[in-house]
Amino acid sequence: MTENGAAFAFLESNTTGTGREFCAAARARGMRPVLLSRDPGRYPYAAADGVDTVVLDTADPQAVLDACTRIAPAAIASSSEYFVDMAARMAAKLGLPGPDGDAVARCRSKDTQRAVHAAAGVPVPAFAAVTSAGEAADAAARIGLPVVLKPVSGSGSAGVRLCGDRRQARTWADRLLADGSATVLVEAAVRGPEYSVETFDGAVVAVVAKHVGPEPYFVETGHDVPAPVPAATAEVLGATAVRAVAALGLGYGAAHTELRLGPDGPVVIEVNPRLAGGMIPVAVRAATGVDLVDAVIARAAGRPAALPGPAAGHAAVRFVQVATEGRVTAIDGLADAAAAPGVAAAAATTAVGRDVRVTHSFQDRLACVVAAGPDHATASRRATAATALIDITVEELPR
């Protein structure tokens, strides 16, 4: 059991809302959040909420360990895909609760994860890990077009693209390799709607429907909790996710499993050894009363999880997407969006003065709204209407 005022170290953060929720949850449990970051300015909430920050090279394990030794945290965690592995290993070094670092590492490498799942009989797309553009083109032809190419390490749809022929596969692989990816994953494109399953300690908490932008990219534009599908469909999606999580040895805490419902049933796209981003945990709390953010904080601090709170039954997340590249000069309408009917949260994920560009990834989302309602249609309508109230002014930069 930790004491009031004890530090809770957060190793970097995600940028789409729940990083702020993590810090708020730690404070609500009487702890002092401390953000360890190379660039705290990436997270506008840190300054706005007065979160203590430590600037360091967070890619350097020794630097992180030295910082943790100085602040003596009672818990450490990360809401960032790129730092969950480091946080797990730091927790082990510091004698704090945390997931198995090896299991987390298996998830962080998409080709390793694929191989583990295939060996365990978990349904995954046909795939190949390649290290050259020529190998990518050959793998695409062998697997069967169209294929999806992605870096073996990454999140938020960054670098993910549908390729319809050998030339596209070669060109995109060449780009990924030039951008620093040592290995590229080539996999069969699974046709069908996309979902995620949120689990905690291997148990299903929610099945979520995803809205995805136009091909050839896979940018998530919204989420619905619970997914508006028949109970039998939700059950098979949840059971497949539980098998996927267990095969990787993830028996601790939160996991976010992404799936496509193909013609032959669910296919696992990937398991993330962390809480979902994209404000999904806020939507889960609004819809079901289960506070996954607090559950992660409680587990890392060695405390029992809270009982479920009030629940609306349904919730929806919608995003404001970047439309013009340039510099953000004004953000208006957040207060109006937050005060709109049924809205549980409204937040900007950028800040005035920051430059934005179209990346075809999660970075294209500049603001988000979570709205709740007694049914799927009401929650969706409320979220869409509130999102329309947010106006982000972006001025084109001189060439």
> pLDDT truncated to tens, each residue of the chain (399 aa)?
344 589 999 999 987 667 888 999 999 999 999 999 999 988 888 998 999 999 999 999 999 999 999 999 999 999 888 899 999 999 999 999 999 988 998 888 899 999 999 999 999 999 999 999 999 999 999 999 999 999 998 766 789 999 999 999 999 999 999 998 899 999 999 999 999 999 999 999 999 999 999 999 998 999 999 999 999 999 999 999 999 999 999 989 999 999 999 999 999 999 999 999 889 999 999 999 999 999 999 999 999 989 999 999 999 999 999 988 999 999 999 999 999 999 999 999 888 999 999 988 888 999 999 999 999 999 999 999 999 999 999 999 877
Cα separation, 384 vs 368, in Å, equals 10
Whether the Cβ atoms of residue 111 and residue 186 lie closer than 8 Å to each other: no
Whether the Cβ atoms of residue 362 and residue 156 lie closer than 8 Å to each other: yes
Whether the Cβ atoms of residue 257 and residue 270 lie closer than 8 Å to each other: yes
Active site residue 274: yes
Q: How much is the pLDDT for 42?
A: 87
What pTM value is reported for the model?
0.92
Neighbour-count burial of 98, counting CB atoms closer than 10 A to its CB (0-12 exposed, 13-18 middle, 19+ buried): buried
Q: How much is the pLDDT for 74?
A: 96
Q: How much is the pLDDT for 1?
A: 36
Whether the Cβ atoms of residue 187 and residue 147 lie closer than 8 Å to each other: yes
Cα separation, 79 vs 286, in Å, equals 19
Q: Which of 20, 89, 106, 274 is catalytic?
A: 274
Q: How much is the pLDDT for 16?
A: 60
From start to end of the chain, where are the E strands?
Answer: 7-11, 32-37, 52-55, 75-77, 127-130, 147-151, 161-163, 184-188, 194-200, 203-212, 220-225, 254-262, 265-272, 314-321, 326-332, 343-348, 355-356, 365-373, 391-395
